[in-house]
Amino acid sequence: MNTNFNTFKIQDALDALGVKDINLGTSTGANSFGNGPTLDSFSPVDGQKIGSVVCTSQADYEAVMTAATAAFPEWRTMPAPQRGEIVRQFGNKLRDLKEPLGKLVSYEMGKSLQEGYGEVQEMIDICDFAVGLSRQLNGQTIPSERPGHVMREQWHPIGVVGIISAFNFPVAVWAWNTALAWICGDVCVWKGSEKAPLCSIACQNIIAEILKENKLPEGISSIINGDYTVGEMMTADTRVPLVSATGSTRMGRIVGATVAQRFGKSLLELGGNNAIIITPTADLKVVVPGAIFGAVGTCGQRCTSTRRLIIHESVYDKVRDAIVGAYGQLTIGNPLDEKNHIGPLIDHDSVNTYLAAIEKAKAEGGNVLVDGGVLEGEGYESGCYVKPAIIEAENHFEIVQHETFAPILYLMKYTGAVENAIQKQNGVAQGLSSAIMTNELKEAEKFLSYSGSDCGIANVNIGTSGAEIGGAFGGEKETGGGRESGSDAWKVYMRRQTNTINYSDELPLAQGIKFDL
């Protein structure tokens, strides 16, 4: 396997981002501290230790929350366009540091270098979106039934927003949340993934510098480090009115129940079990790259990764052969080498889950078309590199009904009308992303209709993976129902207030009620 480690030095990227290869702890603004246990970060690329962070103790967490709650009154009273100016500066700093941050994302998480750069670009894009939005946090005027009255609706900052992000997008999902929360007037406390802690420290360093230059409270942005127990401090904290959590459905059930118990709000972005429907009129030039990138991009570790291909029986053999043939051209190896299509899984636990899923599919009657397995030898020393697998399966298989965060693609047939394929696609517990490949207008419209895809994202002639920040991102059913990023997703980070103003000399009551004294 060819690598480019001779020209890439992770320490250069860490130095550019102000992340020293020493113990780093809980952070509010520019200050780092920590009294908890040490957490080591290992790269799945080569198995090497990158650095260590000190996890957040209860006392550390209290210090973070003190800084955050103290910063909120000043930040929320700053005019929204001025908050947008801070986000603009943050976005520009990301432009300057796109290369080292993208490399750190790639090396610490294991996604391809192109995807690492793309993730930072998503951060830049959401900053641009948020800057424009900072002048458009609009309410509305509502006609009143009473003469001399007017009703208005306005939006106010909600307070401290807690953000829990997953390893597969270690920086972008935080930016989706925090850029919008900041322009809304909220302050943020972020628990990044314990599998990619240096990425969160790098991002914190960037925004801390911006806040310091503008003489703003460092508690506007804070991070906490550690495993799920650190996240539990935040989900149970009544000082955090909104918790935005990205991760597994299992995690979401716990977070959602905990936050709801204290009458907080939660924004949940959970698992996906995404399918592409391939109809008789589908264009293979679109089908093959869309399906394959969706299935193997980020080594199958996207919540929008393609898990199922539902193919019409009349074109099944042709599509199957094209997909299988294309898999033979994929290259697996060091993700920092842009000639490789696929990098490693995040860790050995993920490898074991991947292997168990393949065996489960076989046991349920699946037919393996492309063998999986763990790669060994030079360049694969981390033990996290696996082969993407293709398995013919049925939608009702138990393993197919669950999301496996790995490059396993299930192929299945449908017969008759497209409604039969839509029924199969919807026949899982998750509802994030979906797609149809067709050149038939009626089929496309049926797929997008109220009786079509039940997912939060429904695409025509593109794959399930690769959302733009302009549209609201999220899904239904066990995906959690949350929405992040574009459209009007900003509203979740604010509280709605209805105002009624009486500018007359009388006091008429609503619904014509009379109350004479």
Residues labelled as active-site residues: 269, 303
- Which pairs with CB-CB distance under 8 Å and at least 24 residues apart come from 506-515? 506/147, 506/148, 508/146, 508/147, 508/148, 508/149, 509/146, 510/145, 510/146, 511/145
- Strand stretches in 208-305, DSSP E: 221-224, 242-246, 265-269, 274-278
Q: Which two tokens stand for residue 228?
A: 């799920």
CA angle, 69 then 74 then 77, to 5°: 120
Q: How far apart are CA 167 and CA 302, in angstroms?
A: 10
CA-nearest of 73, 79, 303, 84 to 181 is: 84
DSSP 97: T
The C-alpha atoms of residue 289 and residue 305 are separated, in whole angstroms, by: 13
| 170 close to 108: Cβ distance less than 8 angstroms | yes
> How many angstroms separate the most distant Cα atoms in the chain?
91
Question: From edge to edge, which strands make up the β-sheet containing 31-33?
Answer: 31-33, 26-28, 221-224, 187-191, 160-164, 242-246, 265-269
Look up residue 40 and give its two tokens: 């080591």
What backbone torsions phi and psi does residue 343 show, to the nearest 5 degrees?
A: -100, -160
Interhelix angle 98-109/80-96, nearest 10 degrees: 70
Tokens of 6: 């001779």
Contacts of 325 (CB under 8 A, 6+ apart): none
3 state SS of 370? strand
